[in-house]
Amino acid sequence: MLRLFAALLTTLPALAQAEDLVTAFTLDNGMEAVVIEDHRAPAVVHMVWYRSGSADEPPGSSGVAHFLEHLLFKQTENLGPGELSATVAANGGSDNAFTSYDYTAYFQRIAADRLELVMSMEADRMENLLLVEDDIATERDVILEERNQRTETSPGALFQEQLRAAQYLNHRYGLPVIGWRHEMEALDMDDAQTFYDTFYAPNNAVLIVAGDVDPAEVQRLAETYYGVIPANPDIPERFRPEEPPQRAERRVIFEDPRVAQPYLARTYLAPERDPGDQEAAAALTVLAELLGGSNFTSVLNDKLQFEEQIAVYTTAYYSGVSLDDSTFGMVVVPSEGVALDEAEAKLDEALAEFLEDGVNSEQLERIKMQLRAGQIYERDSVQSAARRYGAALTSGLTVEDVQAWPDILQAVTEDDVIAAASALFRPEASVTGWLRAPETDQEVIQ
């Protein structure tokens, strides 16, 4: 098996030479654009990403970025209510949007010969959104119901929301993207219009077009439809409230009678990928895979599930694509009859043992091979490629950073991983949480 892994590892770099065919340009009004060629099928993904997400919302208006995302599907001065989506569907395509902490993105997937159609409509709603009071009331109810369905009805979602709020003492990453309910209920026309007028402009947007396209033709269309939109000279700098030094570990107990399976989670404040400086984030990416990746030989899986048999599930996760400090997290679901305090003690033992023993070199090479393979397989999806570049560019990275990332991951050493773990595992920068049902688990957290 190891010979097979070694053989694959030697061939993957050669496969990886089939890099994304990327062309980047900037329009005169400041709008950035990235074209990713993939001529295997006559289809295209067209995306517009705005450098404005929930972390850019004014205090007291949490949820307005996501609220505005909904309202952009209503009407413009040139398109009737729902006409954009109906037109995309009538042409055999699909469309949607999503909001995160650092960005809001809108996309259509459609036949390549319909690119001009969707680009013209997307450009229209960049500057001609028409808000009416009836839509404000309707969509406010929609986002409140979305919060009900995704958060209020899920103890796990409520628990994770509390963990994140405890992790960030000052930064707006501690607020839920969808918003706090009491602030969502107060969102109005002025909130939405002000956010739109502030952030929805070409010089605050990134155009991503991926698929069966010619870069020169994409640039011509972009200049025709987006290039005529005036830049907003008053786009604010992205200055977020900074985190103060975190000096005390935090602990959260969330009890809910709906909890069927108790578990513990721990997060640490962690550095993000920075332009031209991604090495620390690469080591953390590898660390997450080593500790609790999807393979059965991960450190936590091996120690807590197979050796100690105190857990039925373990995982570790980290995403470095973030404008500001991110988080590194772990979850342990204890076996039946195992108390949460015992599971937490075993987690601490496993982490201490990992730092003491170091990284298994064969496992490290296997993880790096799997990461490389995953990046190659991801290229099967033009939408995945478009999202990779869009998320990166709206989170402070560059096209060059995205392209350098695979090689930076492959350069991670055993010493890099241990150094990253030693810097990461600081109790004072951590939040440990227990999710449990009150009637079945009454331990007192120490």
Question: Domains of the chain (ranges plus CATH)?
Answer: 20-225 (3.30.830.10), 250-436 (3.30.830.10)
Question: How far is it, in rounded angstroms, from Cα 293 to Cα 295?
Answer: 6
Q: What pLDDT is recorded for position 378?
A: 85
The total of other beta-carbon atoms located within 10 Å of residue 231's CB is: 15
Question: How far is it, in rounded angstroms, from Cα 13 to Cα 348?
Answer: 37
Q: What is the pLDDT of residues 338-386, one digit of tens each?
A: 999 999 999 999 999 999 999 999 999 999 999 999 888 888 899 999 9
Average pLDDT over residues 392-421: 97
Mean pLDDT taken over the chain: 93
Judge whether 289 counts as a catalytic residue: no
Q: Evaluate if residue 4 carries a pLDDT over 70.
A: no
Q: What pLDDT is recorded for position 439?
A: 66
Compute the Cα dihedral for 393, 399, 404, 406 and give only its sign: positive
Asked if residue 310 lies in contact with residue 304, where contact means CB atoms within 8 angstroms, the answer is: yes
**CA proximity to 389, closest of 153, 44, 7, 49:** 49
Chain-centroid distance of CA 177 in Å reads 11
**CA proximity to 236, closest of 265, 262, 197:** 197
pLDDT above 70 as % of the chain: 93
Q: Evaluate if residue 82 carries a pLDDT over 50.
A: yes
Q: What is the pLDDT of residues 185-212, one digit of tens each?
A: 999 999 999 999 999 999 999 999 999 9
Question: Which one of the listed residues 32, 37, 57, 69 is annotated catalytic?
Answer: 69
Q: Strand (E) positions, 256-337?
A: 263-270, 311-318, 326-334
Q: What is the pLDDT of residues 6-36, one digit of tens each?
A: 444 444 444 444 467 999 999 999 999 999 9
The total of other beta-carbon atoms located within 10 Å of residue 168's CB is: 21
Q: What is the pLDDT of residues 222-247, one digit of tens each?
A: 999 999 999 999 999 998 999 999 99
Instruction: Work out the pLDDT band at 441, boundaries 50, 70, 90.
Output: very low
Residue with tokens 């350069």: 411
Instruction: Work out the pLDDT band at 278, boundaries 50, 70, 90.
Output: very high
- Token pair recorded at residue 149: 């369905």
Question: How far is it, in rounded angstroms, from Cα 97 to Cα 107?
Answer: 6
Question: How far is it, in rounded angstroms, from Cα 358 to Cα 64?
Answer: 46
- Token pair recorded at residue 391: 């998320």
Strand order in the sheet with 430-436: 250-255, 430-436, 263-270, 326-334, 311-318
Q: Which amino acid is at 124?
A: D
Residue with tokens 């007291």: 60
